[in-house]
Amino acid sequence: MMLRRLLPSLALFLSGCAGTLTGYPSLAKRSIENAPMGEPAAAAPAVAQTDPAVQAQVGKLTAQAQAGAAAFDKAYPAAERAVRAASGSAAASEAWVTAQTSLSALEAARNDSVSALASLDVLYVERSNAIADGKASGGVEQIDAARASALAIVDSQNDRVDALKSRLAQP
């Protein structure tokens, strides 16, 4: 019984092998693989022309991020004092609520820098897409530099806010 099932399977297996004895692809190098790769790409210009509209927008957003940083730095001491006074207080105590209010004001003060970072992100994507579509050239490096600066501001603010929040009791 077992032999009856094995014979057709063996015959099928061997017929599949017999048909491919000459059909295996060669692993030898093909002629295209030995061909030279072509001329090296032309070097890109050292400085790309930047669109004046992009320069103006980047300048405006950079100033907005710096204004947000200044407003945050101005509001920070009051929030720090309130958090220091509420340190060790129970959640929902008067000192804790005052500290939470100060932290909210601090978060609101940084709105300009966070908004500027988001706008720079959008501008970067739009400019990259325009360059990819051939509708524009240059400007991405300038946007990226301004974005990195705004990101550093926002990251620093996040760290400082998180440090203050960690000193308060959690509800």
Q: What is the pLDDT of residues 17-39, one digit of tens each?
A: 665 555 666 677 776 667 676 65
Written as one letter, the residue type at 171 is P
How far CA 24 is from CA of 13, 14, 30, 95, 102, in Å, comes to: 17, 16, 15, 80, 75
Check residue 18 and give its pLDDT. Answer: 60
Triad 33, 38, 41: Cα angle to 5°: 135
Q: Taking the model in full, what pTM does it have?
A: 0.68
Tokens 């320069």 — which residue? 55
Q: How far apart are CA 162 and CA 160, in angstroms?
A: 5
Query: The tokens of 16 are what?
Result: 């599949």
